Amino acid sequence: MAIDPALFQENERTAPSADQRQFVEVGSLDCETGGHLPAVTVAYETWGVLSPAKDNAILVCHALSGDSHAIGWWERLIGPGKAIDTNQFFVIGTNALGGCQGTTGPDSIGPDGKFYRTRFPVITVGDMVEVQSRVIDILGIDRLHAVTGGSMGGMQALEWTVRKPGRVKKAFVTASCAAHNAMQIGFNEAARQAIMRDERWKEGEYEEGAGPDGGLAVARMIGHLSFLSEQAFDAKFGRRLQNKETPSYHLGVDFQVESYLSYQGEKFTKRFDANSLLYLTKAIDYYDLQSFKGADTDYLFASFTTDWLYPSHQSETLLKMAQDSDLKAEHRVIDLPYGHDGFLLDGDIQGGYVREFLS
């Protein structure tokens, strides 16, 4: 399992921001857990051409910090000639409900002209799918050729297949699971607490530009710690120092890994809303898919040997759940050293499986 350091240079975390976004109003939403949104806007992007029969559409769902710009953060899988071939398929990326990249979320303006902040209702993965399905309706697509996604995106793909039976021919679900285990919830909770214990969080009612950046940066560091494997950390940083030959022996940054985490944390505060992170992590922590009953989708599950955050046995559970419902399914375990980030970094192995699966 040799590591190519260049692979770490670009991934979801450094993807260019969306520049071709469209926005669509999808109406009001009664949320699954009781809240109500009087109006929902969805930001989306598309690549490729919808066939006259409208049977070549693939919906791509993003992970926690992603956005509608799937061709950016999943550039190794999506594009002309790639596994999700935009010469062949009409590919749709949407920003998830509760997000902060154009779709209605806690950082959006409510009907009273003020930011929602924590007046935003708690949302579920089911709510995200409901909102996405209205976009698909508006695009005139009855049945998707495939829904795909990794991590949180994988949960949305799973939910599509049980919530919208008959509308999803195939689902590619990578580095994901049917329900978070205690450790996954724990990592999310530490991230949430980092935000909520920041005095600038102010019970979520911070002013624009005065949010809990310190807590949000720490939350992002906690995330990055869980995205890589021990091997990936070693290959990428080892014990190398940041721009120096000998340690400074102070409390500040000395090691490269410290610099990397701080940089990632800082950068995240420039593009992400703290409350959005709370709502999205809660949605995936609450998610708990019990069965594929009623679904009529073919599944491709993928997992990565060094992904300790979403371990392979969770995808194996998904495979068994699909088989229990007599659905066609396969699970590919990919031996790469990149940890959870493997689902973003691996175009080759994953791509091969996806290409075959979609054909």
For residue 80, the one-letter residue type is P
Chosen residue from 70, 222, 274, 345 binding a second copy by CB under 8 A:
222
- The minimum distance between CB 26 and a second copy, in angstroms, equals 22
Between residues 22 and 193, which has the closer beta carbon with respect to a second copy?
Answer: 193
* Distance between CA atoms of residues 40 and 32, nearest Å: 15
Q: Which long-range contacts (CB under 8 A, 24 or more apart) does 231-234 make?
A: 231/1, 231/3, 231/306, 231/337, 231/339, 232/3, 232/8, 232/306, 232/337, 232/338, 232/339, 232/341, 233/257
Within 278-317, which residues bind a second copy (CB under 8 A)?
278-279, 282, 285-286, 288, 308, 311
CA angle 132, 154, 201 (to 5 degrees): 75
Chosen residue from 24, 225, 333, 349 binding a second copy by CB under 8 A:
225
19 given a catalytic annotation:
no
Chosen residue from 18, 26, 162, 217 binding a second copy by CB under 8 A:
217
Between residues 153 and 311, which has the closer beta carbon with respect to a second copy?
Answer: 311
Q: Give the count of beta carbons closer than 10 Å to the beta carbon of residue 99.
A: 29
- The minimum distance between CB 182 and a second copy, in angstroms, equals 4
**β-sheet with 144-150: strand ranges across:** 22-25, 41-47, 90-94, 57-61, 144-150, 168-174, 298-304, 329-334
Between residues 114 and 240, which has the closer beta carbon with respect to a second copy?
Answer: 240
Chosen residue from 93, 204, 211, 342 binding a second copy by CB under 8 A:
204
310: CB partners within 8 A, 6+ apart: 151, 175, 176, 177, 184, 303, 340
Using the rule CB under 8 A, is 242 a contact of a second copy? Answer: no
- The minimum distance between CB 135 and a second copy, in angstroms, equals 25
66 DSSP 8-state letter: -
Within 255-274, which residues bind a second copy (CB under 8 A)?
255-258, 261-262, 265
Chosen residue from 36, 250, 270, 326 binding a second copy by CB under 8 A:
250
Using the rule CB under 8 A, is 179 a contact of a second copy? Answer: yes
Using the rule CB under 8 A, is 218 a contact of a second copy? Answer: yes
Which window, 18-26, 135-143, 151-159, 248-256, contacts a second copy (CB under 8 A)? 248-256
307 given a catalytic annotation:
yes
142 given a catalytic annotation:
no
Chosen residue from 6, 19, 34, 81 binding a second copy by CB under 8 A:
34
Q: Which member of 145, 340, 341, 346 is catalytic?
A: 340
Residue 201 · residue 331 · CB < 8 Å: no
Residue 125 · residue 287 · CB < 8 Å: yes
- The minimum distance between CB 359 and a second copy, in angstroms, equals 35
Residue 30 · residue 65 · CB < 8 Å: no
Residue 335 · residue 305 · CB < 8 Å: yes
- The minimum distance between CB 200 and a second copy, in angstroms, equals 8
Q: Which member of 107, 307, 341, 346 is catalytic?
A: 307
* DSSP codes, 153-213: HHHHHHHHHHHSTTSEEEEEEES--SB--HHHHHHHHHHHHHHHTSGGGGGG-PPTT-S-H
Interface ranges with a second copy (CB under 8 A): 33-34, 118, 122, 179-183, 185-187, 189-190, 192-194, 196-200, 204, 214-215, 217-218, 221-222, 224-225, 228, 230, 233-234, 236-239, 247, 249-251, 253-258, 261-262, 265, 278-279, 282, 285-286, 288, 308, 311
